[in-house]
Amino acid sequence: MALHFEALLAQERDTWLSRKAMVPVKITMLVVNLSVILFDNVYATLFFILVYTALFTSVKAGRLLFSTILLYAPPIFIVAALAYLTGGLTMHSVNLYLYGYSLILSVLLLFSTTRRGDMLRLLSRVKLDLAYSLTYNVFEELKTMVDSKIARGWDPGLNPFKYYVVIVDAIKLTIVRLSEVEDALRARGVE
């Protein structure tokens, strides 16, 4: 959740990548990055990772880059270690792991450096603008909920079972929010 919320906050920064003219360039980079897997070339994948790393550092979004590494590296290292121990680690699988990371960077670059208004216009063509416009509000409410739990003495620590309370409350909050949106849309005549 922290990575997504950080990316939402990064959308409002004024950088050279947040200009309207850069949106088609970022979409083209995403499409080209999607097609890199057809070549099964680890050097092409590494090239894209380096390009995205340079772009993130050029807009001073190193924290986002570091968060993606913290999010992606542990599970991939576990999977790669298990594949190595069972003798199934090949260059193709390493390329797939790197390709997954480059796709995360590509989507995150598009999402975090495109302003909310431009993203809403882009997503309105495929009728996803309403879902996108609710994400910021949902994350604000989730952040407020976690902050209030911490203020009341909830300490998550390292025990994953302590997050049960927050997960249940988040599900309840999502259900309430979706029912409110559904009622509002029905009141406007949308079926």
Express each pLDDT in 54-98 by its tens digit: 999 999 888 888 889 988 999 999 999 999 999 888 999 999 999
Q: For residue 44, give the 3-state DSSP assignment.
A: helix
d(CA 62, CA 39): 29
pTM: 0.74
Residue type, 61: A
Q: How far apart, in Å, are the Cα atoms of 66 and each of 60, 110, 114?
A: 12, 17, 20
Q: How far apart are the first and last CA of the chain?
A: 31
Question: Angle CA(160)–CA(68)–CA(113) in degrees, nearest 5?
Answer: 130
Residue 118 Cα distances to 56, 113, 188, angstroms: 19, 10, 25
d(CA 134, CA 136): 6
Mind listing the pLDDT tens digit for each residue in 124-158? Answer: 777 777 777 777 777 778 888 888 888 988 887 77
The torsion angles phi and psi of 128, rounded to 5 degrees, stand at -115, 10
